[in-house]
A and B are shown apart, each in its own frame.
Chain A
Amino acid sequence: MTGLPVADRSVVRRAALDLIARDRRAVAIVLVLHGAAAIAGLAAPWLLGRIVDEVAAGAGAAAVDRLALSIGVCVLAQGLLSRYAQYAGHRFGERAVARLREEFVSRTLDLPVSLVERAGTGELATRSSVDVTTVGTTVRDVVPVIVIASTQLSLLFGAIFLLHPLLGLVALIGLPSIFAVTRWYLRRARRAYLAEGAATAELTEALTTTAEGARTVEALRLGADRVAYGTQRIGQVWATRRATLALRSVFFPVVEASYALPIAAVLLIGGFFLPRGMVTLGEVVAAALYLQQAVDPLDRLLQWMEQAQRGLASFARVLGVGQKTEPENGSGPVTVAPAATGIPEPRGRASAPSGERLVVRGARFSYADGPDVLHGIDLEVHPGERLAIVGPSGAGKSTLARLLAGIDAPREGVVSLGGRPVTDLAPAERRRRIALVTQEHHVFIGSLRDNLAFAASGASDEQMRSALVAVGADWYTDLPDGLDTQLGDGARELAAADAQQLALARLVLADPHTLILDEATAALDPTTARRTERALAAVVTGRTVIAIAHRLNTAHDADRVAVLEDGRITELGSHDDLVRADGAYAALWHSWHG
């Protein structure tokens, strides 16, 4: 269902180590501070053990007062130390999360268009929202808990060793079973939680799509279908939740039962050695209390293990997006299995082309091992001409447009601009020269200015305004804050035609010499389409225009018309020539024109 890969374990591990390595000093400080805080925290049971011994030895209230006061001091020290430990840890977490999300976005932006199209933006959107947030929460909230708990645990056990090495050895008796079951659990949990997350997302999607398509549901009476579909999703959620619960049902009780084991053992061994004078009662009591105290951090570790699993799963999904192509700050590149990344967008090697002539020679193309959809296209586009490409759906018109724009490279043959293969141009260079306009338009969250600026960095406000006027988007003068008006994300939604005009204004600013229009107005209703076409007319003057058209009036206005059928150009010439030739185009023109 998804075309986006998920990073494998080793990649995740390397990326995690990489995060730590990049902030080594901070990590060290955090660990030291937490360690110190945990030591201060351990003092209380130790002092309690001392109190037990002193009281047993018949000490008076003064000794008790002194020891109790020391407990208070230790608590204070623990509080202060952990404050600074938390703060340092928090800062580290923030930095790591910021780095992760920025890298995710830059990797996303580097994704080849073809991959995005194949995978669909839905999956990518989930990763950018849910998964990046989950990873953030994990690094900020879960990792500190795990670090603190592990530090406390190792110190607690260390303290018991210090009390008496023998007691320390005995205290470890519960660990083997905990380790074994944790290994067992972690091996299975990752996949189970991934499945659970996917099922939950599908249920939410079932609900939201039912809401989005409510009118269609009513018109086509799809209610029962939707309920059946959603019920199936609910069942799936239930099943995946049961699967994770089954894992916890083994994991939790084994660990919890293991808590009692060392306590019992310490008491038993204590009873054996106490009469022989090898340990004191206080030491045994302190050890038992330490072990009782170890339950809390162990429990926390367990509780968050589940969260950590989710975080890890999300981390894998985040890392799975794209391949980090340029390592930053000297750190090693995080790579993803090659099969995962798909075909990279052609990267530029060649220098700037020396002309505007687009030439296609013997171009054949197939999508991912499929049959050829273009069978040897030869086409020469003269600078400044308006060429219309018409033909039935599925003839390969859009594919040809993508080859011309350099988004895909032909399997055989070549598409060149000014004598250089278009796919050899750096993407940015290429876009400055050739722009592909499709039905798709998107208004970005941000001001109207932001929505224009990215097409041409350094454009002045005046240039932006005249670009808007050029495409007939005079509505911008009605906006409350002019170019600073916020658009998108509930701020202000533009109508489809306005959004398309905005897209065209971007083109005016980007100022490419060649425009490829792939049914740019097809998804609009006829009146809106007409408005947009008028706006287009303003954009295309003075440029080379290749228009893929399903409306024949576009073809009529073009300098030349190419008829594409079954991946081959069957007719090529001016409108009048083709009508005179009395071929397929002529037949169509007559039926259209009535």
Chain B
Amino acid sequence: MWYIWWLVRCQPWRVLRGSLIGTAWMLGLSVRPYLVARAIDDGLRVSDYRALLWWVAAILVAGVGLAYLGIMRHRTMTFVREDASARSAAVLLRQLSRIGAVLPRKLAAGEVATVGGADVTHTSAVLTMTGPGVGAVLAYAFVAVVLWSVSPLLALFVLLGVPATVVVVGPLLRRLERVESVYRHQQGVLTARAGDIVAGLRVLAGVGGRGLFARRYAARSQSLLTEGYRVGAVNSWIEALTIVIPGFFLAAVVWLAARMAAAGDITIGQMVAVYGYVAVLIVPVWFLLEGGYQVIRGRVAARRIVALLNLTPDDAAPPSGVGRAGVQPAPDCPAELHDPVTGLTVPAGRLLAVAADDPAEAIGLADRLGRFVASDVTWGGVPLAGVALDEVRARILVADHDSYLFGGTLREILRTRAGVGDADIRAALGTASAEDVVDALSDGLATPIGTRARSLSGGQRQRIRLARALLAEPDVLILIDPTSAVDAHTEARIAQRLRAARAGRTTIVLATSPLLLGCADTVAHLREGRIVGTGTHFELLEQDPSYRALVSRRSDSGDNQESVGMDGVLR
């Protein structure tokens, strides 16, 4: 609720204007029946042509005025809601951008879509109450006063009867909605099926089976149809009741008013006006009931937004690190990284390759060195956990094998920091041997590329990722399997150029490809959680049979060896 209140507080004048106009509009609704009644009583019935002219003119003016109020109300409330939606989207956006790596663990992406879509809308809808909601209460009071002046008995009947009718019909409509929601859920399931077919379209193209999927979808669609018939049978009864109940009430009002008119207690004009007031009164009463439900729904939605906003990035500092000296300065020149878990020491300013028997261990190592998890890694002797996170992120980059590619032009994708010019981009693309990717695009660097760069091949995507990581120019670059999807020709080129491009800076490559390993200054062999050998690629090939088995991957020698402990890992 505080969140909704905050959304109101952000735009007090607009909300106030909404309330004023909303009130005026609702009151305006009751003006026309009154004017029509006066035109009948004072003009038509007594054949007073002048009076009739005046009242008719008043009806026209009131009509224009009401139209003006109506649109101003709609405009103001639309702005109020849109302002709230935009504000919610903005805070969500900032939060999502800030929270970082822990997010996928805490929240599914689908959840974000729901919060960012429906929940934002529902929350904003609550603000509608601030304008017309206030107006509804005032309008009700106003009509009450007018009715009382006609006849207290009729006033009581109408003033209590309208809310009573609405309260009876309201739950019926809720019920309608509930029945609908079951149906809609099933519809959602069917929609998911269609989406599933779309996602698997290329697979179906390769293997076949389109006919089967079409038939299966049609069968599900037909069963939803039967369900829909059932829903329709119930719904139509409920909808009929929502016509009959207010209809009976109105008939009762007419009957009562007509008897009073027949007895001479009220005039015929007043009788017609009472009939009109009932219609007018329904608007604010409905509004309040609807608003009540909107508030309930909006509160749930707002709570979900707030829950997302309350997520905090958990800084991966070790528990012991909290009490220690706090933030420590990072080494300001290239410095050694050391991982006590595996015993790996990364020499500063060199190209180190780590060949891991188990890819999961390689990823764990990268997470520790890049401080994505708590660890006792030291950097130039300083505990990495003690260095300001922002500085770690600025200087150590872990380039994941499947790091995310956002949509945008190729230039936008590659320009991850200010000061990167086209020349830098060309150079990095050259290092990543990705010039051909750009050449193949219709507008070169200015070609828009969709989210996840699905239009590119796996190898092209990988090289774009590599170029992006190189352009970040971190002091320490940790590359996880940077060439697993490219052909041997290209891999050989990348290995050579990477070495030159990163000369003098620390680079760690986690890979098992001999082409990459052969270019590294040093290779470390990670096996069963420890570094078991260090040396050049060729030294290790000579001395370490298990290393040879790992990297050469000759189907005869490698298979048996690696199948021993490997199968369980990937489950």
Of the candidates B71, B208, B232, B248, the one whose C-beta lies within 8 Å of that of A454 is B208
Contact status of A553 and B254, CB under 8 A, knowing A84-B236, A237-B86, A442-B200 = no
Interchain Cβ contacts under 8 Å between A and B, 25 examples: A44-B250, A86-B235, A101-B221, A120-B455, A129-B192, A203-B89, A207-B113, A208-B112, A215-B372, A227-B93, A229-B406, A234-B89, A253-B67, A256-B63, A275-B47, A292-B32, A394-B436, A438-B202, A442-B200, A455-B209, A507-B207, A519-B459, A525-B481, A530-B558, A588-B492
Query: Which B557-571 residues have C-beta < 8 A from chain A?
Result: 558-559, 562, 566-567, 569-571
Of the candidates B203, B399, B417, the one whose C-beta lies within 8 Å of that of A219 is B399
Contacts of A213 in B (CB 8 A): 403-406
B3 within 8 A of A: no
- Min CB gap A80→B, angstroms: 7
Which A residue's beta carbon lies closest to that of B121? A200
Contact status of A87 and B401, CB under 8 A, knowing A120-B450, A289-B275 = no
- Min CB gap A26→B, angstroms: 12
Query: Which A506-533 residues have C-beta < 8 A from chain B?
Result: 506-507, 510, 519, 522-531
Query: Which B423-459 residues have C-beta < 8 A from chain A?
Result: 433, 436-437, 440, 448, 450-451, 454-455, 457-459
Contact status of A454 and B213, CB under 8 A, knowing A211-B96, A393-B487 = yes
User: Are the C-beta atoms of B235 and A79 separated by less than 8 Å?
Assistant: no
Query: Which B226-255 residues have C-beta < 8 A from chain A?
Result: 228-229, 231-233, 235-237, 239-241, 243-244, 247-248, 250-252, 254-255
Which of A214, A428, A588 has the largest count of B CB atoms less than 10 A from its CB?
A214
Of the candidates A79, A208, A221, A257, the one whose C-beta lies within 8 Å of that of B416 is A221
Of the candidates A61, A224, A527, the one whose C-beta lies within 8 Å of that of B566 is A527
Of the candidates B187, B202, B440, the one whose C-beta lies within 8 Å of that of A113 is B202
Apart from A44-B251, A79-B244, A113-B201: 15 A-B pairs, beta carbons within 8 A: A80-B240, A94-B225, A108-B201, A203-B116, A204-B113, A212-B109, A215-B400, A216-B403, A220-B397, A221-B416, A252-B67, A267-B40, A267-B59, A392-B489, A427-B208
A462 within 8 A of B: no
B518 within 8 A of A: yes
User: Are the C-beta atoms of B251 and A68 separated by less than 8 Å?
Assistant: yes
Nearest first, the 8 closest Cβ-Cβ pairs linking A and B are A260-B63, A454-B209, A213-B404, A218-B100, A90-B232, A75-B247, A68-B255, A79-B244
Contact status of A519 and B485, CB under 8 A, knowing A87-B236, A274-B47, A445-B192 = yes
Contacts of B450 in A (CB 8 A): 1, 120, 122
Query: Which A17-34 residues have C-beta < 8 A from chain B?
Result: none
Which of A133, A211, A241, A274 has the largest count of B CB atoms less than 10 A from its CB?
A211
A175 within 8 A of B: no
User: Are the C-beta atoms of B209 and A495 separated by less than 8 Å?
Assistant: no
Contacts of B175 in A (CB 8 A): none
Contacts of B225 in A (CB 8 A): 94-95, 98
- Min CB gap B261→A, angstroms: 5
User: Are the C-beta atoms of A495 and B570 separated by less than 8 Å?
Assistant: yes
A249 within 8 A of B: yes
Contacts of B209 in A (CB 8 A): 453-455, 457
In the bound assembly, the distance between CA atoms of A217 and B241 in angstroms comes to: 55
In the bound assembly, the distance between CA atoms of A429 and B301 in angstroms comes to: 52
Which of B92, B240, B244 has the largest count of A CB atoms less than 10 A from its CB?
B240
A332 within 8 A of B: no
Over the window 209-243 of chain A, the binary record of Cβ atoms lying under 8 Å from chain B Cβ atoms (1 yes, 0 no) is 11111111111111111110111001001100100
User: Are the C-beta atoms of B197 and A52 separated by less than 8 Å?
Assistant: no
B503 within 8 A of A: no
Which A residue's beta carbon lies closest to that of B112? A211
User: Are the C-beta atoms of A129 and B195 separated by less than 8 Å?
Assistant: yes
A71 within 8 A of B: yes
User: Are the C-beta atoms of A267 and B39 separated by less than 8 Å?
Assistant: yes
Which A residue's beta carbon lies closest to that of B512? A526
Which of A288, A390, A528 has the largest count of B CB atoms less than 10 A from its CB?
A288
Query: Which B41-75 residues have C-beta < 8 A from chain A?
Result: 43-45, 47, 49, 52-53, 55-57, 59-60, 62-64, 66-68, 70-71, 74-75
- Min CB gap B233→A, angstroms: 6
In the bound assembly, the distance between CA atoms of A122 and B454 in angstroms comes to: 9
User: Are the C-beta atoms of A253 and B459 separated by less than 8 Å?
Assistant: no
User: Are the C-beta atoms of B276 and A394 separated by less than 8 Å?
Assistant: no
Contact status of A79 and B359, CB under 8 A, knowing A207-B96, A213-B406, A267-B44 = no
User: Are the C-beta atoms of B208 and A510 separated by less than 8 Å?
Assistant: yes
Contacts of A60 in B (CB 8 A): 262
- Min CB gap A312→B, angstroms: 20
User: Are the C-beta atoms of B254 and A209 separated by less than 8 Å?
Assistant: no
In the bound assembly, the distance between CA atoms of A173 and B90 in angstroms comes to: 48
Over the window 278-308 of chain A, the binary record of Cβ atoms lying under 8 Å from chain B Cβ atoms (1 yes, 0 no) is 0001001100110010001000000000000
Contacts of A67 in B (CB 8 A): 258
Query: Which B74-129 residues have C-beta < 8 A from chain A?
Result: 74-75, 78, 82, 85-86, 89-90, 92-94, 96-104, 107, 109-110, 112-113, 116-117
Looking at chain A's contact residues, the main secondary structure is helix
Which B residue's beta carbon lies closest to that of A321? B198
User: Are the C-beta atoms of A106 and B214 separated by less than 8 Å?
Assistant: yes
Stretch at the interface among B6-14, B332-340, B547-555: B547-555
A270 within 8 A of B: yes
Contacts of A444 in B (CB 8 A): 196-197, 200, 213
Contacts of A475 in B (CB 8 A): 571
Contact status of A292 and B279, CB under 8 A, knowing A44-B251, A82-B240, A132-B191 = yes
User: Are the C-beta atoms of A553 and B36 separated by less than 8 Å?
Assistant: no
Contacts of B197 in A (CB 8 A): 105, 108-109, 128, 444
A469 within 8 A of B: no
In the bound assembly, the distance between CA atoms of A398 and B56 in angstroms comes to: 79
- Min CB gap A165→B, angstroms: 19
Contact status of A398 and B457, CB under 8 A, knowing A223-B97, A227-B94, A594-B541 = yes
- Min CB gap A552→B, angstroms: 5
User: Are the C-beta atoms of B254 and A71 separated by less than 8 Å?
Assistant: yes
User: Are the C-beta atoms of B259 and A64 separated by less than 8 Å?
Assistant: yes
Of the candidates B205, B271, B408, B490, the one whose C-beta lies within 8 Å of that of A52 is B271
Which of B197, B243, B562 has the largest count of A CB atoms less than 10 A from its CB?
B243
Contacts of A461 in B (CB 8 A): none
Contacts of B258 in A (CB 8 A): 51, 55, 64, 67-68
Over the window 556-577 of chain A, the binary record of Cβ atoms lying under 8 Å from chain B Cβ atoms (1 yes, 0 no) is 0100000000000000000000
B331 within 8 A of A: no
- Min CB gap B112→A, angstroms: 4
Contacts of B538 in A (CB 8 A): 594
User: Are the C-beta atoms of A208 and B113 separated by less than 8 Å?
Assistant: yes
B545 within 8 A of A: no
Over the window 191-205 of chain A, the binary record of Cβ atoms lying under 8 Å from chain B Cβ atoms (1 yes, 0 no) is 000000000100111
B488 within 8 A of A: yes
B302 within 8 A of A: no
Which B residue's beta carbon lies closest to that of A85? B236
B178 within 8 A of A: no
User: Are the C-beta atoms of B86 and A207 separated by less than 8 Å?
Assistant: no
Of the candidates B104, B448, B486, the one whose C-beta lies within 8 Å of that of A550 is B486
Contacts of B457 in A (CB 8 A): 393, 398
